[in-house]
Structure 1
Amino acid sequence: MNLNILTFNWHEPYICNLSRLNHTFFVVAPEVAPGKLREWDKRMRSLPGNCHLISPEQAREKLQEGDFDLVLAHNVKDLLWLKNFDLPKICVFHCRLSTEIALSETPIDKTEYLKKVKSLLQDVHPVFISQNKKNDWNLPGAVIPHGIDINDFPQYSGNESCILRVGNLLKEMDIARGYTRGEAIISGYPHATLGLNPGLPGSRLSESFKDLQEHYRQCRVYLNTLPPEYEDGYNLSLLEAMATGMPVISTVHPESPVIDGKNGYISDDTQYLRKKCGELLEDKEKAKELGLNSRSIVQEQFPMDRFLSSWTGEIELCIKNYLKTRGYDNERQKVPFSERKRKNILMDFVSHPATTAYYLERAFRQSHNVITCGAMINLDVIHQWDLGNLKWPIEPQDIFRGAGEKVDGVLKELPADWNPDFYFYVETGLSDVPVDLEKLSIPKVCYLIDTHIHLEKHFEIAKRFDVIFLAQKKYVDILRAQGNDQVFWLPLACDPDIHGKVETEKLWDVGFVGSVTPANPRRKKLLDFIGSRFDLKVDRKFMDEMARHFCESRIVFNNAIKNDLNMRVFEAMCTGSMLITDEAVGLEDLFEDQQHFVMYRDDSLLETIQYYLENPEQRETIAEEGRREVLAHHTYSHRANQMIDILDEIYRASEEDVEGSEPVSNVSNYYEHVRHDMLPLIPEEARSILEIGCGAGKTGQFLKESRGAFVAGVELNPDVAEEAKSVLDDVISGNIEEMDLPYEPGSFDCILCGDVLEHLVDPLKVLEKLKGLLVPGGKIVASIPNVQFFGVIHHLSEGNWTYQDEGILDRTHLRFFTLKEIKTLFENAGFEINEIQETLDPQYEEYKKSGQNCLKVGRVTINDLSEEELRRFFVFQYRFSAGLSETKPENEKKNISRDSVMKERQLNEAKTLEANGNWKEAIKVYGFILVEHPENLVSWKSKGNCHLQMQEFKESREAFKKAFELDPESPEIMMNLAVVSFQVRDYKEAEKWFERLLEFDSYKDKGLCGIGMLKQQVEANNEAIELFYKALQVNPENGIALSSLLKLAYLSGEFRLAESALENYLEIHPANLNMLFGLAGLYFEQDRLTEAREVLDQILIFDSSNNDALELLKKVEERLVFSKG
């Protein structure tokens, strides 16, 4: 096997000996001083044919391309140069560390030095040229002594009566070379010195290897004075002299190959050695006799074949160990998970450098083996997300996994013998979880970043994983309440290599990097405030360019979306500029206000900035303390280590039960978890409990063990029911809707229905069946998802009702409930709800604090909400306890029940008719309801809407007036009255209602738009334009205002405001092709042809067959050609 090996040119003779291994060597010239390289010196050795000289730049390029199989370093400096490259590494230790310390001009503590280089030596295969040097470094590793082929050296003649010594810097490195002692021995005798020795007159470098060989052959005797305190008893020059046949004069060293009187003379008696020098200089034949023994000793003690075979073995072992530590080992499954120090991680995310996933991958690769899978961010996303300034390369993943593709395909492409220890999915907002994830038998781990934006989606994702890490602390308990205890907070972090401090001048007062769009009006408002008083620099930059921007800022401003603890907090502090940020959950768990950062309040933001600009010493102290804190505790390397520590701890317990067992997926699937969130609702005194939909019996088992209760269960899935039988007192397998339960009336204190009722065809019938099984005062404890949750409404606004494996839109759900419908269901079944608990999205508190009475979800805005009504949109799930209703007189009970049920059924019937466009029939049903219930507000409003849809404006206005009498503060009704009045051309009445709408923030844009429409009717177009533009400043997504403004722009030829409004809209919806086409049209009308063409090209990326865009593009091209002609 021929390998490509990179090595460094510190030792030409040693590299020449290594070249006999018949591998291909690439020899790079190391830097010996700034800008000065140690090039190959042909005076020492000619370059072997299998060695190729390359520059440091070429070496880096080849390393990055993966062209080398192995690196052979010769010192710690080489390892430092190689630290960012991952491949098999051998380091040859030619020198003792103690010697290097002794020769150093500055004091060095050996223990501290070894601590500092520990990271460089990690995963390096050490080889020492002697046991002496291995002992001095106190490191594990092989010892490979020098190898000498005596056939490389000519037969000794000793014709010149002269003493030879060979070495560099003999005088300068006296303590390690024995120069002073050598001078005392050879003083007065003829001698020659070869080597780089500027302090020795007459010393010179050999002109070539042949010149060196000739000196070995001709000179009478070789001098060796290597001191045992700092060197071996031999070096390569001594062994080469012996291989030629030279006798040796040597000072004493326990490892010396010189034997007194056999192949030379060895003593610490200087006079004795001087005497022997004189005798050998006089007696050539004696010198030859001793020299013959030198040849045989070196051939015996330092054979070349042993040197080469040892190196072959160490190279093979190094590569084998490297592959093993990188996960290529079929035996690793026998090692417990927690003992696999270097984990094999299969990481799944969409490749995009400015993401948490990218930083975590970099961090994990420092200590673990990572293979990535997933897709790569495309040009469309780069454009939509405004990532045009991202200059870092986007690299493909190791294994491609496209959207919707299975992980099974990825497993088949993994290298042979590389088995992942766990699967790690990182949310990027661009990828999906593989549909076949459950088939993986290894632990499944995910890191979810934007839970504050995608709570419902994260509920669904989390249930498919064994261990869940969240970037946002406030959602940990909420996800744990769903049944998986293995949910952990893992904050975001920084990457010092990318976000580190840059020494540069402070160029402006306040810096901000990020998006500023109408979608985040608070951020824009605050930045406008800052810019009105201070030198503010806002930009859209990424990675190291972002870090430089922060470094050039005296203060870095941060404003998060929905108070999340975002990446900017850690990245800004890492740059060493002072961070000023708003409140975020978890922020003060990690850092201290006014010690590591400064927290601002909106109403005192400018004063806070002013204070720290006027107190630079205090500002810079906080900035530096913040930087030290993130570097010490909050880098992505810290996060990677924290994650591994948590995983090791989780799986260590199970491994202790079965030694060497492979960790399997944690029991977190649909059937196997304890419903901790429901336990508080179960009466403490309940000792007989029935659980409908008991799954594998985990909740019942917990109740048995913690309360000593009798627990029975009913489970539809027969396989899962069998599991439950091993832990519960009684289990029945079957469909609760079709079976008769074998229990006597009053058998149970409590009945559990956790996420069951929504799966049933007739939940009312089941509740009536269960009612009789309760003891007097018994409770039903149930949980039901809330279909009113804002995430569902957002899906609907986009035209989606996509069923999922779990969650509100579970594909097995047959019924959907709001809180109102839950109450109706239980009331009709004869129950009274006593206690209600909620799984509440934490974003509710932020909405509540803002004082808003409307909710904007995607394209939908819901207005005039009370605090309680607003809250219901943030409830993901209701949990409640219900007891039997108090008994009432039978006639009264029947009448009330019949009346309420009848009204509810009629309303549902009317709403269905209305939703299906059967306006006329719906009006009739609403009319029937209003005869019996004239106070029913919903019916009046709906009836008015049906008449409006049928363009029966007079009847519509009458219905809305009735509704207004019942609710005179409703802007929704005012809006409808304004629209109807406008339709019947009662403009004065319409203006009155439109002006009333200006009193409500959530309807202000509609009021302005309506008044603008009235101005259009009297051809006051300039006023109308201003009003439409003001409406769009309030709400950039007001479609009527935008289309009206565009129409007037074309009529008037004044496009400035229309263009601005379109651009604001497109910041929120960058992929809206209609609006993009509108913008292209405005550019075309203004003869801004290049800009028009760019927008049209953008449209055609999304829809290549868009006829309108193609037609306009043709006109643009024609006009461009004409203008050039």
Structure 2
Amino acid sequence: MERTLNPNRSMKLKILTFNWHEPYLCLLAKLGHQFYVLEPEIGPGHIRRWDENMRPKPENVHLVSMEHAEEMLRQNDIDLAIAQNIKDLIWMMAYDLPKIAVFHNRLSTEIGLSKNTISADEYKNKIKVVLEGVQKVFISESKRRDWGLPGEVILPGLDIRDFGGYTGERPVVLRVGNLMLERDLMMGFTAGNRVVNGYPGVILGLNPAIRDARLSRGLDDLLDHYRKCRLYLNATTDDYEDGYNLAMLEAMAVGMPVVSLYNKTSPIRDGINGFISKDIAHLKKCVALLLEDADLARDLGRKARETVQTEFGIQDFLINWNRAIEKTIRDYLRNSGVSLDSTAQKFHEKKKKNILLDYVSYPATTAFYIERALRKSHNVVTCGAAITPEIVKLWNLEALKWEARPQDIFRPRQGSILETMNKLPDLWYPDLYLWVENGIDTVPPDLDRLGIPKACYLIDTHIHLEQHKQIARHFDFVFLAQRRYVDDLKAAGSPNVHWLPLACDPEIHGKVETGKKRDVTFVGSVTPAHVRRKRLLETIGSHFDLLTDRKFMDEMALAFSQSRIVFNEAIDNDLNMRVFEALCSGSLLVTDEAPGSGLTDLFEDGKHLALYRDESLVETIGHYLRHPEERERIARQGREEVLEKHTYERRAEFMISTLEEHIRSCENNSTGRPPSDGERASSKAVGGGPVGPGLSPDGKPDSYYHNVRQDIFPLIPQAARCILEVGCAAGMTGRALKETRGAFVAGIEMDPGAAREARRNLDDVLEGNIETMDLPYEENSFDCIILADILEHLVDPLTALKKLRGCLKPGGTVVASIPNVQFFGLINSLAEGNWTYQKEGILDETHLRFFTFREIEKLFKDAGFAIEQVDETLDPQFKNVEYSGQSVLKFGRVTIKDLSREEMRRFFVFQYKIAARPLTGFSRHAKQRADDKPGSPALLEEARKLEDKEDHQGAMDLYNEALDLFPGCAEALAGIGNCHLRMQNPQMAETSYRKAVAADANSMAGWFGLGLVMVQFGECEEAIDAFSRVLAREPGHDRALCGVGLALWQQDAKSSAMDYFVRSLGVNVENKTALKFMLELAYELERFPESENILKRYLELHPAHLSMVFGLAGIQYKMGRFEQARENLERILVFQPDREDALQLLERVMDALVSK
């Protein structure tokens, strides 16, 4: 089934178009994208402005000048361009982006109106180069045939709900159009006059050659004429125009009858929804009849309105335009070297990568420059929030003139990255997820579930070392701006850590040709916390002409360029942005060495810049001021060096090439998706025989023995220190676990050659068959056992699992990957009578057992395990089916009906990866289940106690035992959901909560838990519904009130969200989540008094909570209660004298008190 972009679910594009036709642009605006409408020059100095009399400008339409449009195109800030004529295309020829051309007129008509003697073929040959690579859209089939070009036909579309209200109370004839006499060839104005001559009429539009014609006074005036005038006359000519135009369709949508000269493409059916004829005399009688019979006019008008709804509906217009946009972008990307087919292209083979870039938007940040650099060579979609006015004030960024533009996809703080993935353009699948730190956002909570390569760029590690160690663990690749911490992060468990220094953007930070106005400039922060910096600047200022200021972007570049010397001071020996930006400006940089930062590895003292020591700073600056030739030579060489080697384009190239090199070297599936079953040595656990040169015993390349199964790493507990891998092959996965986690890893491998190699990589290797060998390990030996693509090769996987269960420690984990025999491709083959074994894949010739997910669940339950987490390798085509919302699956000659979303998903899973833990009471309670039901309440109580102690696995085991005694126990199901949620398995939690509320519609715990999961998934309406069910039974449930607030906050209903947070805190002032969001919204909404009261109540209970004291001081500062704010800040500084944010706020408070 072909699917189109869904404007409600997909990313909003930035589209450039041209202001030739306001009504049509308003229809396009209904697509929901952001339209940047260039007001074109129609003559020297004469700009065609948007005419509000034709249509009011929609909110998502932004008028731009030619200069502004050119700048956006240069910055790759436009996703798509829609030309309204050939002139528009010629103007855009120099810019490389997806383009659509709309053909509003027939070619024969344009040639006829121009009085040009050129033939159609000659004209098309002339514009052939202009149309190359351009998607063509014709507003009618007749126009496509007339042009003789391939393209899509998209008829105009109207939403009849926007019209209606016809009365026909004025017995007059209405005609609407521009330049009707000048375009008589197509408009048929003269012939129309013959029809209505002698009857009262009104002509609206730009018609300087027609006496008594006038412009409408706005849309309301136009609609008023449609509603009150009795009938509409259309006279467009059959040879040069369609039998309708947008004005006629609008009249019909209101409910107005139409009288029309014959045109074979007209939607008018004579005597049904109007009158149409070649006979002028007949049409004159029809006009007279309608002017006399208002009832007839209304009857015909109703039919005309129905015609618009069925033949020119808005929904078809939007669907077809979305399809055209999707096709244009796909063709453009494919022509740019990007494959969007379901067969994945290897990462290192793709010229242009699809990159999902995540950061909080504001211009003066590394991420902004990285985005600009990446867009020049790759396809980038951004996600994240934007900097708030509160942060701008807190960070003293008020001088920043550049606007923080919204990201392509809004992802709120703590927002789900999987939800973001669902909003990506259809069939656009990222090759890389890149998260860039800027001190505001946090890593998405569900990032570990994202099945593509993940990289981060961490900037301020010199300030946030411990935090960065934690962040880095979520990523496959880590880039650090500060070199001295590379080894620290590797030691903390991140193997792929690379130094990537900051850089400059020459288009922003470049040299400005201006005279030198001062000796020294410093641009940056100077606060009481910057003790050394303040002292050095005071020293410079006492000897030289010094400018100290907060400037950004191009204004900073101007300030640097106007100075003979730019001064820099590092914080904690960091290699900061100022180094590269100053060098780019062409002025001499005088900086400290920042030992360990790598500065002297990149630049030479006396060649590219000048180094100072604190005690000789004045002498260093004085020397270069006295020797201008030497100063300018070093400055010039520094600028040349930074432009050649240290731009953000160079940094982006290094980042991508590093990823390509690493991924190329891995035997793993380089699309970023986990390897298939066939990409493992399928016989490694059960096969036999020696390994020949380059081949496994079954003829497979022995490279399959050397894969690192990074796709299963997220399922292996971080705390696992003793691991057994069954079917370990050459031991490469185990070696990676040893290197990154310091674990003891043992392996079992049947193939002798692979086992020999594995002994060089692992701590212990057994050679043999897991099904027949006696395990030498004692009970409770391992934290984790790995069965990656193993169980399907075994004769009796149930017995093997039971055997391995005894080797697990209490609370240990089994991690397994298993192919899915329910995969639609296999069923399609089976339907055609085929069950052909292959060297790899689901029908690997060594597979003995076949599993669906339900059978996997049964297998593990029978073996005494509870599945806790499920990851899936999904066929990319599922994304198309999921968005369509269909319940019928068709492939080949197979049709499967009435599928739920989850059932549909099962057919697109190629492989399941699961993590399971043994049930603690499996053996002990198996015999008692028939007659031990009275023990269930005791089990639930014990489970709740374990849950309170955060022993989630133990609690889950007891809840499962309770379910064995009382199947469908809502309390146990909700308890399991709680455990899954706290163990960060929200999908499993959702399943349990839904089972709980299905078992008991009044399950408070079930509804509350389901609400929490829906908030995580961004399903806000469903979350509010779930929380509301809790509040209906317990109106004072503070956590449910807070949950509604979170859902409303995600919907950007911030005032309502604030109300719920306040209500929640009114019940329980210690609700930390409500407190956090209440404080954030208090600043944004300036609702300070109620926030102050809540904080005071909280501090009555917790007077030593200094962060809340700081929050209260900030609120009081905003309310103008400076004395109280000062007292609270001084109270903080007694205990934390170096707390920078308190010192900064105190400085502002004191300034306010002085001015007061």
TM-score in terms of structure 1 length: 0.40
TM-score in terms of structure 2 length: 0.39
Bigger Rg over Cα: 1
